[in-house]
Amino acid sequence: MEFYEFLAHLTHQRRLSAHTVTAYRGDLRQFGEYCERVYDIRRAGEVSREIVKSWLAELVGEQLAASSIRRKLSALKAFYLYRVTRGLQSTNPTQRIPTPKLGRRLPVTIPREDLKRLFAAFPDPEDNEDVSLLQDHVMLALLYQTGLRRSELIGLRDGDIDLGRRQLRIRGKGDKERIVPFGTGMALLLDRMLLLRGGAAPLFQTERGGALYPKYVYNRVVRYLSGVTAEEKKSPHVLRHSFATHLTEGGADLNAVKELLGHASLAATQVYTHNNLERLREVYRQAHPEGDGKK
C-alpha cells in the first residue's frame, strides 16, 4: 500500500522522532500485509470499514495486548485521516471504529511485612536526636498511615496538626479540605520532631532549611523502600495505595476509605477491593469442600 507519502509527512512536516515513525511504519505494513493476504487488496482506497474490523478481530484473536491494538488502530486512523484531508480519497474506513479500552491497572502495594521492617529499622523516636532522620521517619509514616498524596505532604504546615485530637487537616485536589485521623504512635513521632526542630510554618524542610519539592520526597521514599522490598515500583503513591489496600483488607468500609483518600467518587476507590477479593477467593479455594485446593 501507498504509505511512503504519509510517513514522509510524519518525518518532515510533523517532525516526529525516528522511533515513532518506525513504529507507524511497522503497524501500517502489518495492516497492508493482512489486506493483501486475506482480501487480495493492495491499494489503501479499496479498504472498507469491515476489513478494518476484521483485522482488529484477528489481532484480538492473537491475544495481543489492548495497548498494542490501540496503537496499531491509532496509526491506521492517522493514515486515513491524512488521505481524506488531502483529497486522496473521500471515505475513511476507520471512522466510528471504537478504540479498545485498556484494562484498569491494579494499584501496586508494599506487603505488610516489608513495611513493618521499614519502620522497625528507624531508631526509637525518644532516643533519636537526628532531626533529618526523624523527619524521614515522619514523612514515610504519614504517607503510609494517612494515605497522603505527595503534594499534600509537601503542603502540610504546623497549624494543620492537632496532636490532642490526633488528626490532620489536609488540603487536597481543588483546595478541598478533609480531616484524617492518626494513631498514638504517629502523634509521638510528630511531637518529637516538632520538639527537636522548633517552630516553622512548613512542616517539612530540606537539610538546608528550604521547602520540600516533589523529587526530594520521591528520592527519599525510593531510597528507604529499596532497602526492604523487592517490589519493582516504589514511590510515595505506592505507600498511599498500600494504606488504602490494607484498610480494605482489614474490613474498612469503602465509603470511609474514599473519605480518607479524598476521592471525589466511589469509583476511584473501588479498585482497592480487588486484592481483598483475591484474598477471599484464596480462602474459598482452600477452605470450601468444592474449592480447587481440596482436589
Residue 96 lies in a domain: no
Clarify whether residues 130 and 234 are in a common domain. yes
Residues β-bridged to residue 152? none
pTM comes to 0.63
Q: Per the structure, how many domains does the chain have? A: 2
Q: Residue 177 phi/psi, 5° resolution? A: -90, 150
**Mean pLDDT of the 161-167 span:** 95
Clarify whether residues 129 and 247 are in a common domain. yes
**Mean pLDDT of the 264-290 span:** 73
Q: Which residue has the higher pLDDT, 107 or 194?
A: 194
Total residue length of the chain? 295
Q: In this model, does residue 295 exceed pLDDT 50?
A: no
Identify the residue whose cell numbers are 514523612.
139
Clarify whether residues 128 and 211 are in a common domain. yes
Q: Which residue has the higher pLDDT, 294 or 282?
A: 282
Predicted confidence (pLDDT) per residue in 122-153, tens digit: 999 999 999 999 999 999 999 999 999 999 99
Cβ-contact 196, 131 below 8 angstroms: yes
**Mean pLDDT of the 224-253 span:** 92
Cβ-contact 167, 187 below 8 angstroms: no
Q: Which domain holds residue 11?
A: 4-85
Q: Which residue has the higher pLDDT, 104 or 93?
A: 93
Clarify whether residues 125 and 259 are in a common domain. yes
Confidence of residue 111 (pLDDT cuts 50, 70, 90): very high
Q: What's the CA gap between 181 and 31, in Å, rounded? A: 56
Identify the residue whose cell numbers are 488531502.
86
- Output the CA torsion sign for 148, 152, 156, 161: negative
Core vs surface per residue 78-106: b (16+ CB within 10 A) or e: bbbeebbeeeeeeebbbeeeeebeeeeee
- Report the Cα 32 to chain-centroid distance in Å: 35
**Mean pLDDT of the 232-236 span:** 93
Residue 91 lies in a domain: no
Q: What's the CA gap between 48 and 99, in Å, rounded? A: 17
**Averaged pLDDT score across all residues of the chain:** 89
Spatial CA neighbour of 24 closest among 66, 63, 65, 80: 80
Residues labelled catalytic: 149, 173, 237, 240, 263, 272
Give the pLDDT confidence score for residue 66 in this predicted structure. 81
Query: How much of the chain exceeds pLDDT 70, in percent?
Result: 92
Clarify whether residues 192 and 140 are in a common domain. yes
The helix (run of H) or strand (run of E) holding residue 162 is: strand 161-162
Residue 291 lies in a domain: no
Looking up residue 128, the CATH number of its domain turns out to be: 1.10.443.10
Predicted confidence (pLDDT) per residue in 240-267, tens digit: 999 999 998 888 889 999 999 999 888 8
